[in-house]
Amino acid sequence: MDSVGTNRSPLRSTAAAAAAAPATRSSALPRPHRHPALGNRLAATKLGIAAWCGGAGGYFGKVQRFDAARNTMARAQSGKAARSVIREMGHTASDSEMPLKYSWGKAFPLGVSQADGGLNFAIFSQDASSVTLCLKLPERGTQNDAEIVEFALDRQKNKTGDIWHVSVEGLPASGVLYGYRINGPQGWQQGHRFDDSVILLDPYAKLVSGRKYFGVDKEEPSQFFGTYDFDSSPFDWGDDYRLPNLPESDLVIYEMNVRAFTADESSGLVPAVRGSYLGLIDKIPHLLELGVNAVELLPVFEFDELEFKRFPNPRDHMVNTWGYSTINFFAPMSRYASAGGGPVAASKELKQMVKALHNAGIEVILDVVYNHTNEADDANPYMTSFRGIDNKVYYMLDLNNNPQLLNFSGCGNTLNCNHPVVKELVLDSLRHWVKEYHIDGFRFDLASVLCRGPDGSPLDAPPLIKEIAKDSVLSRCKIIAEPWDCGGLYLVGRFPNWDRWAEWNGQYRDDIRRFIKGDPGLKGVFATRVSGSADLYQVNNRKPYHSVNFIIAHDGFTLCDLVSYNSKHNDVNGECGRDGCNDNYSWNCGVEGETNDLIVRRLRSRQMKNFHVALMISQGTPMMLMGDEYGHTRYGNNNSYGHDTHINNFQWGQLEERKDGHFRFFSEMIKFRHSHPILKRDRFLSKNDVTWHEDCWENQESKFLAFTIHDHNSGGDIYLAFNAHEYFVDAVIPSPPHHKSWSRVVDTNLESPNDIVPEGVPFTGSGYRIAPYSCILLKAKP
C-alpha cells in the first residue's frame, strides 16, 4: 500500500484503526522494530480446492450442514423496492419475454461461464446454509428499477463440496446483472457475518456494474453487481503486436494514477475522456519524451470511490482517488471508462491502453491490493461480497476475541491469503490479468500480509508467495513486494523471494533522503545504497534490480514538497492533521511552503535535481512518481488519498511552463541512464567496478562523497561527486582512463541548460569546486 504507512480508507482514522487491530497503518515510517473430491476431470489446482471443500477431515474439519427453505418475498435493496421472483428447479418463467430454465450446473470454473447451451454460475461458500442466485434482467426494466429474478439453490443438487452452482438457460449473452443472497449460521462468536438481506458480489465476477461516472455522489444505484459479456468479439491485439519483455535491469518505472493523469482541464482532453484509460493513451508521447519504459498504475481493480460517504464522518467530504480499497479482484475499474461507458467499455478501453503502451515499448505494472478489501471492520462494515459469502474463510480472525477481524492492513480487515481457497482466488486473479489484459507485472501492496498464516502469524515459506514465484503463467511477469505491513512485519531485504521477488527498498528511500538533505554520519550508507544495497539483496541468486529504488511514491510528500516542507499539512483531510507520516526526512530549505525567495527556490531546485541524479545513477531499478518531472506540489499534504482535485491531478500547464528547465533535466538524466549500461548492471559491484575517492569513512561530520564507476569495455568511466555540505568543496578529480578526457555532463548548481549537457562539456584540470548542496557527473570520452 503506502511507502510511508499512511491512511487511505474510511477505517484509517487513528482511533478506529487502533480499536480493531494488533497494529494499524502507522503514521511512522516502517522500522525493523519496526468439496467431496470432484474427480480426475478437474485440473490439479482445482482438485486441491475440491479436496479441501469436501466432507470430514478437510482443512478445517467437517463441514456443517443446515436445512433451510427459501421464502418467496419482496426485497428492499439499498432503499429501493425491487420485484423479487423465486423460481424452482426445472421450471421456466411464465413471462414470455425471457423464459428461464434452471439445471444443476457444475462446480468449475467459478464465476460465470458458458456451458451446455446456458450460463453456469458457481460460487464458493463453506459455511452457507442457503444460496440464492439473483438476476437483474435488462428486458424487465431499467438498471435502477428492474425485476430481480431469484432462484434458491438446492443444497442436494446444486452443491458439490462447498461450491454452489446452477446452470441457467434463456439468459442473454450480455447485459444481465447478477449477485447472490447467502445465509448461514448467525453466530458472531464463531466468526460468521451472514446477512441474506444483502445481494452480494461474486468474487469471480469478471466485470462489475455500479455507478457510471467517477465521483458523482448523487448518481444511483450504489449497489454493485457482477455482469458478463459473451457477445463481444475477442479483442484484436493486432498482427504486429508484441509484448515489450524488457529486462528488469533496464526498467525505469513511473508510478502513476490513471484518473489523476488526465482528469484536470489542463490536459486539453474533452470532458468525456478526461481521467480515463483512453485519456492515458493520448499522453503516451509525454511518457516517451520523459524516457520511462514502465508505468506502475495505482489500483485499477473495481473500487468504490464514494466509500467515505456511507455515513457521516470527518472525511465524508473526500473521494477515494487512489483506489486502495478493492471490491473485486478480476474486474477493471468501470468508472475509468470514457463517457460513462460502463464495465464492458472499461474492459475494452483498458486493453486498448495496454496495447498502445506496449506498442510504444512501455510495460504495464499494476499495483494490486490483496491484503484487504473494501468491507472495512466490524464497527462500520461495508458488506459487498466476501464478508457475507464466508467471513470465516476470507478474512483473518482473532478467534479469542469474539472473533474480531484482525487488522494488519490498517483498513479494518486482512484477507486470509494463505487459506487454500483464498490463495487460489489470488492466483486465478493474477493469471486473469496476465492472460486477458497482457499485464507485465504486479506490485503487491503491503505484501508482508501475504506472508502471514490464518491466525496472523508470520510464515517462513508462505504458500501464496511461493506459488506466485513458481507459477508458469506469471513466469514472465515482474513481481514486486511492498515488504511491510501495519502489524510490524518489516521484511525489507528479507522478503521470501525464491530469487524472483523484487522489493520496494524503503531503506533506500530513507537513507538517500537523509544524506541529500545533509544529515551527518550517512556517507557510508549512501555509498551502499547507490551501489545496489548489497547488504540487503546480495543473497543466493538475487540481483541488484531486485531493489526497486525510490525516493518518492504516491504516499508521502511529492519531490517538490520534500524540499519545501518540514512538516505535513493535512488539515483538509478532516482528521485534524493526525493522519499521514510524521517523520518524512524532509527539509524546507529555510522557508515552510510556498515562497518568492529566489535563494530558497534555487536551493530547492538543486535539491530536486540532486535527488534525481542519485536515483538515476544507483544500481537497481529506479521508480519515480508522476508529476515530479515538473515539480508537482500537494501543498504539504503527505496523505492525499481523498482529493479528486488539483492536489493530486497532473497539471499540464505547469509542465509546459517548466518544459525547458526542470523537465528537461529529469528527462535527460533518465536517457543518460538508459544509454550507460554500467549504471544498471545485473550483478553486484566488485571492487574493480568502482573506486571510492574516500579515505575517512569514519568521519561522521563529512557529507561529501565522490566515486568513479568503471567501464571495463570501452573505458567510458563515470565520475560522481555529491556535496551535502552548506559550503563549497574543492574536489580532486582523478585522472581519466588512458586516451580519454573528462567531460562535464551534470552540475546541478548551474542554470538550465548548462545543468545537464548530454554530449558533455570538455573539462581539463585536476580539481572541481563543487557548490553547496549540489552534485556533478563527469564522463570519460575519447
Q: Is 255 a catalytic residue?
A: no
Distance (Å) of CA 598 to CA 186, 594, 661: 66, 11, 16
> What is the C-alpha to C-alpha distance for residues 262 and 282, in angstroms, rounded to an integer?
9
Report the alpha-carbon angle 365-294-748, nearest 5: 135
Q: Is 177 exposed, middle or buried (0-12, 13-18, 19+ CB in 10 A)?
A: buried
SS (H, E, C) 439-506: CCEEEECCHHHHHECCCCCECCCCHHHHHHHHCCHHHHCEEEECCCCCCCCCCCCCCCCCCCCEEECH
CA atoms within 13 A on the CB side of 135: 32
E strands, 655-766, in order: 690-692, 704-709, 718-723, 729-732, 741-747, 756-762
- If one counts every other C-beta atom within 10 angstroms of the C-beta of residue 537, the result is 23
82-115 burial, b for 16+ CB within 10 Å, e for fewer? bebbebeeeeebeeeebebbbbbbbbbebbbbee
Task: Look at the alpha carbons of 314, 316, 317, 318 in this order and tell me if their dihedral is positive or negative.
Answer: positive
Q: What is the dihedral of CA 255, 4, 307, 383, to 10 degrees?
A: 110
Amino acid sitting at position 139: E
Give me Rg for the CA atoms of the chain.
28
Instruction: Say if residues 678 and 625 touch (Cβ distance below 8 Å).
Output: no
Is 482 catalytic? The answer is yes
Q: At 209, phi and psi to the nearest 5?
A: -110, 130
Catalytic pick from 424, 482, 485, 628?
482
571 grid coordinates: 488539515
Beta strands 174-183; 163-169: pairing state: unpaired
Give the integer Cα–Cα distance in Å for 551 and 64.
52
660: which 3 cell numbers?
Answer: 525547458
- 50: region left, alpha or beta (phi > 0 left; psi from -120 to 50 alpha): alpha
Characterize the bridge pairing of strands 84-87 and 148-152: parallel
Give the SS3 label for residue 567. Answer: coil
> What CA–CA distance (Å, rounded) separates 678 from 697?
24
- Rounded CA separation 540/551 (Å): 26
Position of cell 428447479?
89
How far lies 220's CA from each of 144, 215, 288, in Å? Answer: 7, 12, 39
* Catalytic residue, candidates 296, 445, 579, 717: 445
Residue 483: burial class (beta carbons within 10 Å; 0-12, 13-18, 19+): buried
What separation, in Å, do the N-terminal and C-terminal C-alpha atoms of the chain show? 47
Phi/psi at 691 (nearest 5 deg)? -115, 120
Instruction: Please tell me whether the peptide bond between 753 and the residue prior to it is cis, using omega within 30 degrees of 0.
Output: yes
In terms of Cβ atoms closer than 10 Å to its own Cβ (0-12, 13-18, 19+), residue 128 is buried
Grid cell digits, residue 165: 452452482
C-alpha span between 634 and 649 (Å, rounded): 9
Q: What distance in Å separates the CA atoms of residue 602 and residue 608, rounded to the nearest whole number? A: 10
Q: Who's near 681: CB < 8 A, 6+ residues apart?
A: 249, 532, 544, 619, 689
For the record, the C-alpha cell of 629 comes out as 518531472
Active site positions, annotated: 445, 482
